[in-house]
Amino acid sequence: MTGKVQISLRQFTVLVMFYSIGTTILVIPAALAATAKQNAWIAAFAGWLLSLIITALYVKLGSLFPRRSIVQYAALLTGGWIGKPISLLFIFYSFVGAATVLYYMGNFMTTQVMPETPIEAFIVLFAGLVVFGLRLGLEVLARTAEILFPWFVVLFVVLTIFLLPEIEMKNIRPVAEIAFKPILSGAISYISYSSLPLIVFFMIFPANLNRKREAGKAFLIGTLVGGIFVIIVTFLCISILGADFTERNMFPSYALAKKINIGNFVERVEILIAGIWFMTIFFKTVLYAYGFVAGLAHLFECEDYRPLVLPSGMILAASSLVVYPNVVYMLEFDSTVYVPFSFAIGLALPLLLLLVAGLIRKKRNH
């Protein structure tokens, strides 16, 4: 199954960019403001730099096994008894990621857009779209991302231009009050949501890319561009809404769009701007789900993952309704449990595989 489907470098770059933005652009400004206050945008910049280092680590690991997925080379490096539990950890991480993003989307719709509609309706509809996308396959998803990219850029540029008159530089002062610990804490939150989850791309990177030698460059560019969008949104949130309001609002970037008012004529366009987030959230969810179903297919040596898509989609939809019992639990889980969980899978696991690969290579050379 690995390597049969091929996507272009440009399509892969767009997928990485959309995935990096995803739910990050909705929730990370509040998390950064909670720790770094008015310097949240600096923490986002620091996290962005760290994310490039993490991506370089992923590129190094992927280059060692250009025609295999992480599930396959985990078993190859560590053997079946250790490799399968490692693969199951990766699959579980993808499953939890897909379920939580589905909940985020439903929670966003019921709290911000249509509060009288039950969350189950939104989750079932969105899960249906994810199942439909997975059934169509990776090539169709990649082409869809490529087509939607210009629309994403246009909407984002319009949002930024319309918000420029609302910027108040006093909200980011004093810039000189930069403490290392809050900045580092914010940067860790940033990479936990935006960079470390990129490990799910090991199901397609670089095995499913048509030019494998340049795959690493495409990965880095996607991470770089996605991070720039997040930094801009974080700066706009802090400079327009202020650090205190950004910290207290669950979705500050959506509240940001409500500030658009051009001559009392162009206003209340936040639902159109929310289209930006729907694009990115869809691709983040579908790639998480792809890591889950394709990982299972590789683990059990199935020829095709598609027969697993519908039952997996049903399980994900049901799980998203119970993964967070309430919003208070969600905030507590995201701030205390998710960060170390993300580091364990997104950083410790690749480092372990790199170490084992290095030891094997050294033993062979001797």
DSSP string, 111-144: III-TTS-HHHHHHHHHHHHHHHHHH-HHHHHHH
pLDDT band at residue 248, thresholds of 50, 70 and 90? confident
Percent of the chain past pLDDT 90, that is, above it, reads 31
Q: Flag whether 1 is in a domain.
A: no
Q: Flag whether 184 is in a domain.
A: yes
Token pair 């025609």 in the structure block, residue: 67
Number of domains comprising the chain: 1
251-288 in b/e form (b: 16+ CB < 10 A) is bbbbbbbeebeeeeeeeebbeebbebbebbbbbbbbbb
Q: What is the dihedral of CA 147, 151, 156, 162, to 10 degrees?
A: 170
* pLDDT at res. 146: 92
359 vs 4, more confident: 359
Q: Flag whether 244 is in a domain.
A: yes
Q: Flag whether 274 is in a domain.
A: yes
Query: What's 229's domain CATH number?
Result: 1.20.1740.10
Cα–Cα distance for residue pair 131/316, rounded to 1 Å: 10
Stretch 210-237: mean pLDDT: 89
Q: Flag whether 4 is in a domain.
A: no
196-208 in b/e form (b: 16+ CB < 10 A) is bbbbbbbbbbbbb
Q: Flag whether 338 is in a domain.
A: yes
Q: Flag whether 361 is in a domain.
A: no
Q: Flag whether 207 is in a domain.
A: yes
pLDDT band at residue 212, thresholds of 50, 70 and 90? confident
Cα–Cα distance for residue pair 191/194, rounded to 1 Å: 5
Domain with 266 in it: 9-356
pLDDT band at residue 314, thresholds of 50, 70 and 90? very high
pLDDT at 16 over 80: yes
**Under 8 Å between Cβ of 126 and 277:** no
